[in-house]
A = this chain, B = another copy of it.
Amino acid sequence: MSASILVVGSVAFDSVKTPFGEAHEILGGSATYFSVAASYFAPVRVVAVVGKDFSDEHLGVFRKHKIDIEGLTRVAGNTFRWKGEYGYDLNEARTLDTKLNVFETFNPVIPESYRSSEYVFLGNIDPELQLRVLQQIKRPRVVACDTMNFWIKGTLDALKRTIQHVDILIINDSEVRMLGDEANLVRAARKVLGLGPKTLIVKRGEYGVLMFHGNSIFGAPAFPLEDVYDPTGAGDSFAGGFMGALAHAGEINERVFRRGIIFGSVMASFNVEKFSLERLTDLNRAEIDERFRQFKALTHFEEL
């Protein structure tokens, strides 16, 4: 039995337009993508807030994946809504509208039964709230954390306080450069590691992932796909696969981290193949393992 993973983040209704189609108010949010991806590897517990418009039907996805929703609070008001679109390069979303709704006053309360979770992922929310989560729980084996430009610009001090308590920071390359205040990614990464995290994972979208861990660097390309329909949730699916693989392995070392990055990349690659959670909710372990093997074939070369 794998150790449990606690995720705190957003549950949202997304309206997404890509060059290949569009979808209106479909289930999304960082906690959702993360927990579904992680659920293929280990038990997941979610802390998030939804509104009265969040139906039992919407809970179906969480139930299907046996995700513990004791910490999913339903309060008066509407669920967080995000509307965005992607151009042909699919690398960056243009946000058209954000309605925080019930998320505006989100104050994560960690249920008693979640407090000794060994693996914790702090989704991209206000760093003050991320810290409050850590204050409510027993010191986990691994705390991983996401953030974004908005918090790096707006609440840098709070963010720095939070990531002092974080083992693994998982952010994209432009965020590393901004947080490290340095154009060269390797130098920026070293500066970010100086802020506290022992490990920095840099997401580079279609170009893959780099991990900085002590003096070691690991690099993996993204899985080359002929059909990319909707990149929404790729980062959180990556984090879910990564943390899931860690919890499943039970060990904490670079070997496990590297395999975790491949599992994370596998989950992200499935996620972007269809809209919303369509593909991510419809997988099995054999498919996941097969794509892991394809990653090995993709990257293998013989030693000198």
Interface residues of A (CB under 8 A from B): 19, 88-89, 183-187, 190, 204, 206-208, 210, 216-221, 224-228, 255, 258-259, 261-262, 289, 292-293, 296-304
Contacts and interface: CB of A to CB of B under 8 A. Distances in A.
Given A207-B204, A221-B210, A255 B184 contact: no
20 contacts: A88-B183, A184-B226, A184-B228, A186-B225, A186-B226, A204-B207, A207-B207, A207-B208, A210-B224, A217-B298, A218-B298, A219-B224, A219-B299, A220-B299, A221-B221, A255-B302, A258-B301, A259-B302, A296-B301, A299-B299
A185 B224 contact: yes
Nearest to A188: B226
Given A186-B224, A225-B186, A219 B298 contact: yes
Given A207-B208, A262-B301, A303-B296, A224 B220 contact: no
Given A185-B206, A186-B225, A207-B207, 18 more contacts: A19-B183, A184-B226, A184-B227, A186-B226, A187-B226, A208-B221, A216-B297, A218-B301, A219-B224, A219-B298, A219-B299, A220-B221, A261-B301, A293-B304, A296-B301, A296-B303, A296-B304, A299-B299
Contacts of A297: 216
- Which of A19, A206, A218, A301 has the most CB atoms of chain B within a 10 A radius of its CB? A301
A298 B303 CA distance: 12
Contacts of A208: 207-208, 219, 221
Contacts of A227: 184
A18 to B, nearest CB: 11
- Which of A185, A292, A304 has the most CB atoms of chain B within a 10 A radius of its CB? A304
Contacts of A88: 183
Contacts of A304: 289, 292-293, 296
A41 to B, nearest CB: 13
A218 B299 contact: yes
A262 B219 CA distance: 13
Given A258-B301, A301-B262, A217 B210 contact: no
A258 B298 CA distance: 10
A111 to B, nearest CB: 35
Contacts of A207: 204, 207-208
A61 B151 CA distance: 51
Nearest to A187: B226
B89 A183 contact: yes
A206 B184 CA distance: 11
Contacts of A220: 221, 299, 301
A138 to B, nearest CB: 31
A150 to B, nearest CB: 22
